[in-house]
């Protein structure tokens, strides 16, 4: 990737932890990480001083958050809020009879 971007390998040494993570990841995650790494290297070759490991990690964090938000948006929890009128302490939640992973349920 460095050669393709016209950068010495030393320019990417800071990004090595992300490359290592990509190597041990699933194919889909590997492609995404390598795309982000390549984008960071492209920014560096254009002289962008903000193209750092930290900015790459921030980009990755943002992608994860957006992905999670897409899946969770519109989801409503399977439990209902309870209070004194239901015979429970204020702020208790009825978790149902196993709506949660692992058969979890009861009151929270």
Residue 42: predicted pLDDT? 92
Confidence of residue 105 (pLDDT cuts 50, 70, 90): very low
HSE of 103, CA atoms in CB hemisphere, 13 A: 0
Q: In this structure, what token pair is assigned to residue 90? A: 């204020």
Per-residue pLDDT at 24: 93
pLDDT digits 0-9 by tens, 76-90: 555 554 555 555 555
pLDDT (tens digit per residue) in 36-79 = 899 999 999 999 888 888 888 888 888 887 777 777 776 555 55
Give me the percent of the chain exceeding a pLDDT of 70: 67
Give 17-73 as a DSSP string: HHHHHHHHS-HHHHHHHHHHHHHHHHHHHTT-TT-SHHHHHHHHHHHHHHHHHHHHT
Give dist(CA 45, CA 102) in Å, integer: 49
């Amino acid at each position: 990737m460095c050669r393709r971007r016209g950068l010495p390998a030393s320019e990417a040494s800071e990004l090595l932890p992300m490359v290592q993570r990509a190597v041990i990841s699933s194919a889909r995650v590997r492609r995404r990480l390598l795309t982000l790494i390549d984008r960071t290297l492209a920014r560096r070759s254009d002289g962008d001083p903000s193209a750092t490991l930290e900015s790459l990690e921030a980009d990755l964090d943002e992608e994860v958050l957006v992905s999670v938000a897409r899946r969770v948006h519109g989801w409503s929890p399977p439990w209902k809020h309870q209070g004194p009128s239901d015979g429970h302490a204020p702020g208790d939640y009825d978790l149902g009879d196993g709506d949660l992973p692992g058969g979890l349920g009861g009151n929270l």
